[in-house]
Amino acid sequence: MGKRIVVALGGNAILTDDPTAQGQQNVLRETAEKLVTLVKQGHQLVIAHGNGPQVGNLLNQQLAANSEKNPALPLDTCVAMTQGSIGYWVQNAMNDILIKENIQKQAVSVVTQCLVNQDDPAFQNPSKPVGPFLTEEEAKAASEKDGAHYKEDAGRGWRKVVPSPKPEEILEYPMVKNLIDNGFITISAGGGGIPVIATEDGYKGVEAVIDKDFAAAKLAEMLNADYFIILTGVDNVYINFGKENQKKLEQVHISELKEYISQNQFAAGSMLPKVQAVIQFLEKRPFAQAVITSLDNLENLLTGTVVSNSSLKAVNQNA
């Protein structure tokens, strides 16, 4: 019997060396060919994706053209725009491969909002870099003008930083579930979803970005997914990475992952949020499974084949 699978695509599954629209679409076609393998195996597929490079590029374009008559759009709108464009690319790539493989299914993208709490501590500590690199003088001038926060970023310059709150709910979840129940492959929660808060007048977009792995984990939880898969640039998660005693993780319990986190084994800007998202999902779905691996290793994962570079599979020990 097929499983319900939520797959979160990392940036390498969308963007490599060619940042043009055609270049990204070419990469996504290769990605779609691998994802369709899951559909051929009879699984229900839900696709989430990142948008970090794309929204950064769009912000640069917005700022470059900013004027009184053509004002730059706010960040939540830029997230929506890149979510729509990438969803459009993924949808078309998937549908092309489905037709080629004579699979009677269709992919569809859903512009997705994520509810966040306006009291989330992240709003008091903006930490997610967005937009172009500036000199310190330019950053100070920009901060005086827009009131935003700017921080030095790894010796490369100063960048605007925005809050990265945790997602509490996927607002379009009922529609996504309905599409899945009716056999559609859905692309949703792209770029972490559009961050919104609840107000007396309805939902309002906020100047923030949501980590796509946490948003995908929340979506997987709400959909009662059997598998939550995070695709990244490596086949395995490692501890003691780069050292003589480096060790890849193949099957672990979430209690072990928490211990590794306390040891600072995972880099804050790369693997840590992926591991935390896996834990978040499994604590809500104790009988499900979560996997971190590469796109190339995806087929081996669900056919039951254990390969020497098999992925990290985290299973809640309380299951």
12 has catalytic annotation:
yes
Q: Which three-class secondary structure string do you get for 20-49?
A: CHHHHHHHHHHHHHHHHHHHHCCCEEEEEE
pLDDT at residue 309, as a whole number? 28
* Sequential DSSP letters for 45-80: EEEEE--HHHHHHHHHHHHHT--SSSPPPPHHHHHH
The secondary structure of the chain in percent helix, strand, coil, rounded to multiples of 5, reads: 40, 25, 35
CA-based Rg of the chain, rounded to a whole angstrom? Answer: 20
pLDDT at residue 307, as a whole number? 25
pLDDT, one tens digit per residue, over 65-103 is 889 999 989 999 999 999 999 999 999 999 999 999 999
Phi and psi, residue 263, nearest 5°: -90, 5
Cα 136 off chain centre by:
30
Cα 275 off chain centre by:
13
Q: Say which of 212, 297, 313, 316 is annotated catalytic.
A: 212
218 has catalytic annotation:
no
pLDDT at residue 319, as a whole number? 47
Q: Which helix (H) or strand (E) holds 274?
A: helix 271-284
pLDDT at residue 305, as a whole number? 23
Q: Say which of 50, 274, 313, 316 is annotated catalytic.
A: 274
CA-to-CA distance for 97 and 108, rounded, in angstroms? 14
pLDDT at residue 81, as a whole number? 95
Query: Which residue ranges in the chain fall short of pLDDT 70?
Result: 1, 11-12, 154, 300-319
DSSP secondary-structure letter at 13? Answer: G
pLDDT at residue 106, as a whole number? 97
Q: Say which of 10, 34, 51, 128 is annotated catalytic.
A: 128
pLDDT at residue 12, as a whole number? 62
Amino acid sitting at position 223: L
100 has catalytic annotation:
no
191 sits in the region (left: phi over 0; alpha: psi -120 to 50; else beta) called: left
pLDDT at residue 308, as a whole number? 24
Q: Say which of 3, 12, 92, 300 is annotated catalytic.
A: 12
